[in-house]
Amino acid sequence: MVSDRTILITGTSSGIGAWCAEALRRDGWRVFATARRPEDRQTLETKGIEAFYLDYAEPESIAALVDDVLERTGGSLDALFNNGAYAQAGAVEDLPVDALRYQFEVNVFGWHDLTQRIVPVMRRQGRGRIVHCSSILGLIPIKYRGAYAASKHALEGLMLCQRAELEGSGIHISLIEPGPIESKIASNGLPWFERYIDHDNSVHREAYEGQLARLRQGGVKSRFKLGPEAVYARLSHALLSPRPRPHYVVTTPARIGVALKRLLPARMLYRFLSNQG
């Protein structure tokens, strides 16, 4: 058991975050988890997980979270797993600036704020692991996912630069890039699509009908979709390996996408991707 190891993990109300929080607890970590709804935090507490409120779009909640966690640990933290996010669907030409701005507020700026508050703690310790749950869409583009893909591309660039800047500090940064994983990210994204995208008056209306059907059924049904345990396997390596990788690509479709990006000419790659989704 490694109960002296501490980790802060965000977005743990369901899906990847919930699975990883419970698995980390079973593996002996002291887990500090976040969720917005009180009932989700109560569920986590009953499982022996210390739960806190966090909304990445509320800087004051980020500051309060860090203060509360560090008070409980005596000022130390071994690992941070940034996971909480949402996916704004819709064609780029239909995307209001406010929708794109809020996507970045949650998926990029909030993650940066939390990470920036944790790095000095880890510098004082001379060690730490920071893992970001990115997406295969942070590496390759898919139509109707422009806002989400842009936020993940930004995350990749920002955190890979920080990874280089932390070289030799004892702090390691890794990015997990999942493809299709069983989670609620599709259904959770539906209200944001309906709020911001005028799908009835869009030139993409016909395509949106299929998109809406998939969102309402919880995402694409595929034999290649894996459970959140697939992400946890990579997270464990990133947290415990003496040489954690910069990138962990998860699921067969994601690995195929990375391989095609490496092998195909750009025009051919983008033509292929335009027929997906």
What CA–CA distance (Å, rounded) separates 167 from 27?
28
Per the residue annotation, which of 144, 148, 232, 248 is the catalytic one? 148
CB 35 within 8 A of CB 12: yes
Asked if pLDDT for residue 107 goes beyond 90, the answer is yes
Asked if pLDDT for residue 108 goes beyond 60, the answer is yes
Q: Kindly report, residue by residue over 221-263, the tens digit of the pLDDT.
A: 667 789 999 999 999 999 999 999 999 999 999 999 999 999 9
Q: Kindly report, residue by residue over 51-101, the tens digit of the pLDDT.
A: 999 999 999 999 999 999 999 999 999 999 999 999 999 999 999 999 999
Query: Residue 3 — very low, low, confident or very high, per pLDDT cuts 50/70/90?
Result: low
Query: Residue 2 — very low, low, confident or very high, per pLDDT cuts 50/70/90?
Result: very low
**Annotation marks residue 232 as catalytic:** no
Helix (H, G, I), strand (E, B) or coil at 128: strand
What CA–CA distance (Å, rounded) separates 89 from 78?
35
User: What global pTM score does this model have?
Assistant: 0.93
Q: What are residue 6's DSSP bridge partners?
A: 30
Name every residue whose Cβ is closer than 8 Å to that of residue 225 and which is 6 or more positions away in sequence.
Answer: 180, 181, 182, 219, 251
- The predicted model gives 131-143 an average pLDDT of 95
CB 16 within 8 A of CB 231: yes
